[in-house]
Each structure stands twice: as C-alpha cells, then as structure tokens.
Structure 1
Amino acid sequence: MATRKIRNTLALALLGLLLEKPMHPYEMASTLRERSKDTSFKITTGTLYDTVEALARHGWIEPVETVREGNRPERTVYAHTELGREEFVRWLDELIREPVAEYPKFVAAVSYLGALGPERAADALEERARHLTERIDGTDTALHETTGAGMPRLFMIEAEYIAHVLRAELDWTRRTIAEIRDGSLPWPGNH
C-alpha cells in the first residue's frame, strides 16, 4: 500500500467538515470548536492553516471562492477535490478497520508504577481518578447539550466513545487503588 502523503488527524477532521459544505479556515476552526471536536483534534490557528495548505498542495482540497464580510479580511473558501474525497474515505476506512499502536504516555508511566511506592502510587491514582471524573462529567454535559440542541448523535459519536474509554480507565484506576490500599496488589520489597 502506498504511504499516505498526509497523516495529521486534523486533516481528517477538515476533510470531514468539507463533506458538509465548502468553508474557509476560520469557519472550519469555529465549527470544530462548536462541536467540541477540539477534544479529539489539536486545533491551533497555525496548525489549522498549515493543514489547509498541505491539503491544497496535495490536491485534496481547492479554493472555490474568496469572500469578504463587512470589514473582515478576505477569506478563501475551500472544497473537496475528487481526489480529496477518495483519500478521505480510504483513510477513514483504514483508521476504523485497523487498530494501531498509539503509545499513550499513561501506559508508559503505569509500567513503572512500583517506583512510586504503594502510598504515593495510590495517591497519584486517586488524583487521576478525580481528573477522569471531571472529564467524564464535562463530556457527558457536552453530549447532553449537543443532543438537546438537536445535533445528530453521529456528529458527536467520538465524544460518546471517549466517555466510554474514560469510564473504563476510571474503573481500572479505582480497582487498582483499592488493591494497593488493601494490600492485595503485591509490592516489591513489602513481603
């Protein structure tokens, strides 16, 4: 299989937006933030414009018009090319079908949990559990607000997935804290 020219997942998000309608980069960023997609994709002005330029350079999107609203600067509106639509669908299909190793930092840290000692490890995990609970609550609130506003579930399905993953991590974290605290998780040097 040929190597994909663009691998930045923000490009995937932008291509997805352009399925709906042509947009200028500022509208793309606003729409992603409005839909809470900034929890799934890192969105900064610089990376967004760089990504738009890369998509255009590779022929996946193209400018279709320039617009000016009031005193605002001119904005270039982009749309998919046929190649861009094909690449988007191919890339999306590949990402959904094929799990890949993602190397999360937390997994790397957990592999050395023993270095903290039982008390500090349990304390650190308890703090993580608090943060996870806050993120779950925030995600649940965002999901409730968007579905209440009439946004189709399919537009927020990744937030639903993230909430499920966070709940699974929270369950594991709480169970591990309990095992550390009750001594059922053996600790090196504590025989």
Structure 2
Amino acid sequence: MAVRSSPLALTVLALLHYRPLHPYGMQRLIKDWGKDQVVNVGQRTSLYRTIDRLTEAGLVRVRATERDQAYPERTVYEITDEGRATARTWLDDMLATPRRDFPEFPAALSHLLMIAPREALSALERRAARVAATLADHDEVLAANARDGHGRVAGIETEYARTMAAAEHAWLLAVIDDLRSGALTWEGAT
C-alpha cells in the first residue's frame, strides 16, 4: 500500500529514524523540538491516524508494548528499512519541489471586496500585530538556539518561518499605509 507524504508523516518517520518511540513520546518531542511550529499535532488523533497509515504501508512497525503501572499501556514503534528510504525520498521531494498551498489568508484577501476598506484596515492591523508577535517568538527561539550552542540547522525551519513572517509583516504594513492614506480603496459592503 502506497502512502502519501505529509509533513506529519515525514516528522513521524524522522523521529523514528533516531529511535523507537511511542505516540506520546513522539508528540512530546515534536513540541520540545519546536516542530509543532511546522507540523500540526494539536490533536493526538491525527498522530495516531498517521502512525496507522505508516504501519499499514510497512514504513513503521510495532517494536514492543510497554507496561508501566504509572501509565497506560504504550505501543512503541520503529522505522523499517522501507520507511527510511521513503523518508529520504519524501524529504528530497519536499525540499526540491515547490507546492501550491492554499492557505486561508490569500483566500480571504481574494474576497476583500465583500467588506469596506475600514473593516479591512482593522482586520489587517490586528493581523500585523499578531505577525509582529510571531516574529518576536521566532527571534527568541533563534536566540535560544544560538545561546545553547545549537548549530544553524537545528533551527532552520524557524529561520525560514521568520523570513516568511518578516516578508508578510512588511507587506501588511505597506497595505495598511495604503488603506490609511486612501491609495487603496474600493466600494465595499457596509
């Protein structure tokens, strides 16, 4: 059974590449290593579904079931040779091939005519403040990585996210200025 690549599936394979883990351990490491900034693990069920798909495809397998009185029974997974090869293929493809993502923000921008310019201004100002806070968070993570002696590669995804957020923030400020000055206007719903 062929399984489609996804950021979460690649992350699971990458974690298991380093050592066998149970799902709770995977989720904890994803958060501890800051990978939750690029992979959605807010719902543990998506992690379990991904592990099931990878198991069915033969990319991971059950290594053991741990029993501990302090915790419920935990299934420990390990990566297979096919899983290692697949992870490398997915990684190469994700690094080399731009994909068309369909995020919410550009979709919302494409319907800006539904609201009045003053409403758009208010929403974009709120977004700019949130993006500025995200930039500050990224700066903290990058500074901590540097302070802790981690190499650049340890935070390369944060560096990328910060660069994208900085570009968005600059663009937002320019559009906000145009809305305030009247250089950008339209007849919107009231």
TM-score (normalised: structure 1): 0.88
Deviation at 1:186, TM superposition (A): 4.7
* Matched-pair contact (CA < 8 Å) for 2:21–2:77: yes
> Which residue in the other structure is 2:13 paired with?
15
Q: Counterpart amino acid of 2:123?
A: A
Provide structure 1 residue ranges, at least 5 long, that are not aligned to the other structure: none
Q: Which moved more, 1:18-27 or 1:4-13?
A: 4-13
Structure 1 residue 184 and structure 2 residue 183: aligned?
A: yes
Deviation at 1:14, TM superposition (A): 0.7
SS where residue 175 of structure 2 aligns?
helix
Rounded to whole Å, the distance in 2 between the matches of 1:62 and 1:29 is 18
* Matched-pair contact (CA < 8 Å) for 1:62–1:80: yes
> Which residue in the other structure is 1:131 paired with?
130
* Partner deviation per Cα, 1:88-110 (whole Å, 9 max, x = no partner): 11111111111111111110111
* Matched-pair contact (CA < 8 Å) for 2:8–2:47: yes
Provide structure 2 residue ranges, at least 5 long, that are not aligned to the other structure: none
Q: Which moved more, 1:113-122 or 1:144-153?
A: 144-153
Alpha-carbon spacing, 1:152–1:19, altered in 2? closer, same or farther (3 Å): farther
Matched pairs, number: 187
Q: Which moved more, 1:168-177 or 1:56-65?
A: 56-65
* Matched-pair contact (CA < 8 Å) for 2:5–2:90: no
- 1:10-159 to structure 2, matched below 5 A, reads 10-43=8-41, 44-69=43-68, 71-159=70-158
SS where residue 71 of structure 2 aligns?
coil
**RMSD (Å) for aligned C-alpha atoms:** 2.0
Alpha-carbon spacing, 1:106–1:49, altered in 2? closer, same or farther (3 Å): same
Alpha-carbon spacing, 1:150–1:78, altered in 2? closer, same or farther (3 Å): farther
Deviation at 1:169, TM superposition (A): 0.5
Alpha-carbon spacing, 1:147–1:29, altered in 2? closer, same or farther (3 Å): farther
Alpha-carbon spacing, 1:40–1:177, altered in 2? closer, same or farther (3 Å): same
Alpha-carbon spacing, 1:68–1:152, altered in 2? closer, same or farther (3 Å): farther
Q: Counterpart amino acid of 1:137?
A: A
* Matched-pair contact (CA < 8 Å) for 2:121–2:176: yes
Alpha-carbon spacing, 1:147–1:62, altered in 2? closer, same or farther (3 Å): farther
Rounded to whole Å, the distance in 1 between the matches of 2:105 and 2:172 is 11
* Matched-pair contact (CA < 8 Å) for 2:8–2:40: yes
* Matched-pair contact (CA < 8 Å) for 2:63–2:77: yes
Q: Counterpart amino acid of 1:75?
A: R
* Partner deviation per Cα, 1:128-168 (whole Å, 9 max, x = no partner): 10111111112222232344334443232111111110110
Rounded to whole Å, the distance in 2 between the matches of 1:64 and 1:171 is 49
